[in-house]
Structure 1
Amino acid sequence: MEVTSTETVPGRDVAESLGIVRGNTVRSRNVGSDFAQGLKNIVGGELKGYTKLLGDSRDEAVERMLAEAEETGADAVVNLRFETGSVAQNSVEMLAYGTAVRLE
């Protein structure tokens, strides 16, 4: 299945819009990781534990969005977007959403 952050798939025409599809996941941070990241915050630099957490969350949210798109019979998802938010202390939600379409 093709996925794009643009309104169309390059070189293809959209035959039908099937509606919004989405996938999300909520992940909690590890207490040990929080401590290590706190120390890193003192000296500066990339917080690799958080980078991995968000990357894994993004991948899972996209997989779930694509599964929903497949259920609708879509060939592609256009206008892919991501949102993140704090759900509870020490947890983050990653949401992937876009428009499922059938291509000509």
Structure 2
Amino acid sequence: MIIVTTDTIPGKTIAETKGLASASIVQSRNIGKDILSGLKSIVGGELASYTEMIEDSKRDVIRKLENQAKEMGGNAIIGFRFSYASGQTISELIGYGTVVVVQ
């Protein structure tokens, strides 16, 4: 599955547009991680546990989008984007793009 942020794929021709695909992951944050991250934020530096959570979420969203695109009969997703939102105890990662058939 080809997934790009652009509206075209160099060297490929878009033969058919199948439509919009979107997928999301909503996760609750761990109170233990919050406490340790709060302490870490005082001295600065990367909050590795949250970085790992976001990276895992990105992989899950992309996997879901790939499955949806296949079910729609596509072999590529163009115009792919992530959108991220967080609250006090949860975070949500949404991925979306246009499913197409390329040749």
Please tell me the TM-score bracket, short chain as reference.
over 0.9
Runs of 4+ displaced beyond 3 Å: none
CA contact (8 A) 1:22 1:97 kept: yes
CA contact (8 A) 1:77 1:100 kept: yes
User: Which runs of structure 2 are paired with 1:23-102 in the superposition (5 Å)?
Assistant: 23-86=23-86, 88-102=87-101
- For residue 98 of structure 1, give the secondary structure of its aligned residue in structure 2: strand
Structure 1, residues 65-92: CA drift from partner, whole Å, max 9, x if none?
1111110010100111000112x53110
Residues of 1 paired with 2:75 and 2:64: CA distance?
Answer: 15
Superposition TM-score, scaled by structure 2 size: 0.95
Superposition TM-score, scaled by structure 1 size: 0.94
Structure 1, residues 9-44: CA drift from partner, whole Å, max 9, x if none?
120000111111011110111111101000001100
| 1:20 aligned residue | 20
Residues of 1 paired with 2:63 and 2:2: CA distance?
Answer: 12
The amino acid across from 1:98 in the alignment is G
CA contact (8 A) 1:23 1:63 kept: no
Residues of 2 paired with 1:53 and 1:45: CA distance?
Answer: 16
> % of aligned pairs identical?
39
| 1:3 aligned residue | 3
The gaps in structure 1 that reach 5 residues or longer are none
